[in-house]
Amino acid sequence: MDVLKKSIIFVGGKGGVGKSTSAAAIAWKAAAAGFKTLLISTDPAHNVGDIFSRKIGGEIKEIAKNLHALEIDPAVETDKYIRSVKANIKGAVHSHMMEEVHRQLDTAKASPGADEAALFDKLIHIILEERQHFDKLVFDTAPTGHTIRLLTLPELMGVWIEGLLEKRRKTNANYTQLLNDGEPREDPIYDVLRERQERFSKAREVLLDDELTGFIFVLNPERLPILETQKALELLHKYQLHVNTLIVNKVLPEEADGAFLKERKKHEKQYVKQIEETFPKQQLIYVPLFSRDIVDKQHLTLYSEFLQ
């Protein structure tokens, strides 16, 4: 799998197809090969900890040799995020306005999108700063729609901030003429926005760098996952994010016996054919359906042997 050579790997896909298992197996394999690896779960319904029978949580924790893990808790991150925004605007807003601004921010905390923005900030922090401490980052993401939003945010937020900056520049220019005899004044809000914009574009560069970052989608040989994967890949493609690897997971093994499984296998063959036709450019990795769930490191090792 070429993608295993990248230093940042995102694993996405529809709910329940095997994202967490695949991400854990990839991280497990990388760690065994001697890479200092960080496995990050961005899914609010975490299950990475289950596989390693460890409680992971919001701080980076070493869970095996060379292997570290982190489960991002959107609620905790939102709290931290709002606190940092409050700290950032201190000094930029008149003290008598502070109470009202805080009230607005606390309302914002509960608004839709706040968790996502906070998660996104954390992600950027991992990609820009935390990466320096690791050889590999493996992201286990939430089901498809969410992942796509997350990955396309640097671009969307970039455009949005550009708009805000433009407004700010105009307002400042007007004030400057009116109040300061044309002397430019300092604007802390402008600076904060500018800094965020720089971080977004740096993160975007990393995500778009084919040498550095790889995207994997996991799917099962069934009708809906194929359709959803196709849609997701097309959308990501529009944002210049190219998914070159697909893990086709839970493929019935050839030796599956009994009339029922034989019948299922017959249908599955058509879906496998459809996958090959729909994704001619992608590397396809097949992982069989095991006779039981992947619940421990032994099973994970078995699973990871298919990820060549």
Ligand X SMILES: Nc1ncnc2c1ncn2[C@@H]1O[C@H](COP(=O)(O)OP(=O)(O)OP(=O)(O)O)[C@@H](O)[C@H]1O
What is the token pair recorded at 216?
A: 């994997």
The smaller minimum CB distance to ligand X, of residues 4 and 294, is found at 294
CA distance 116 to 153: 10
Q: Does 63 bind ligand X (CB under 6 A)?
A: no
- Candidates 249, 271, 282, 304; binder of ligand X (CB under 6 A) is 249
The closest residue (CB) to Mg ion is: 20
Pattern of binders to ligand X over 99-138, x per CB under 6 A? ----------------------------------------
Q: What is the DSSP string of 148-179?
A: HHHHHHHHHHHHHHHHHHHHHHHHHHHHHHHH
Partner interacting with residue 250 (select from ligand X, Mg ion, none; CB below 5-8 Å by kind):
ligand X
What does the longest C-alpha to C-alpha distance in the chain come to? 88
The smaller minimum CB distance to ligand X, of residues 22 and 37, is found at 22
Q: Does 152 bind ligand X (CB under 6 A)?
A: no
Pattern of binders to Mg ion over 42-61, x per CB under 5 A? -x------------------
Instruction: Work out whether strand 37-41 and strand 67-71 pair parallel, antiparallel, or are unpaired.
Output: parallel
Closest CA to 23 of 207, 147, 206, 152: 147
Partner interacting with residue 293 (select from ligand X, Mg ion, none; CB below 5-8 Å by kind):
ligand X
Q: CA 55 from chain center: how many Å?
A: 21
The smaller minimum CB distance to ligand X, of residues 249 and 304, is found at 249
CA distance 9 to 207: 10
Amino acid letter at 163?
G
- Candidates 191, 293, 296, 305; binder of ligand X (CB under 6 A) is 293
Partner interacting with residue 18 (select from Mg ion, ligand X, none; CB below 5-8 Å by kind):
ligand X
The smaller minimum CB distance to Mg ion, of residues 140 and 155, is found at 140
Name the strand (E) or helix (H) holding 249: strand 243-251
Instruction: Work out whether strand 37-41 and strand 136-140 pair parallel, antiparallel, or are unpaired.
Output: parallel
Q: Does 20 bind Mg ion (CB under 5 A)?
A: yes
Partner interacting with residue 225 (select from ligand X, Mg ion, none; CB below 5-8 Å by kind):
none
- Using only C-alpha atoms, the chain has a radius of gyration, in whole angstroms, of 23
Burial class (CB in 10 A: 0-12, 13-18, 19+), 119: buried
- Look up tokens 């003429």; give the residue: 177
For residues 248 and 288, the answer to whether their CB atoms sit within 8 Å is no
Per-residue DSSP letter, 242 = -
Contact region with Mg ion (CB under 5 A), list: 13-21, 187-195, 204-212, 267-275: 13-21
Contact region with ligand X (CB under 6 A), list: 39-47, 92-100, 122-130, 164-172: 39-47
Size of the site for ligand X (CB under 6 A): 19
Contact region with ligand X (CB under 6 A), list: 55-63, 236-244, 267-275, 290-298: 290-298
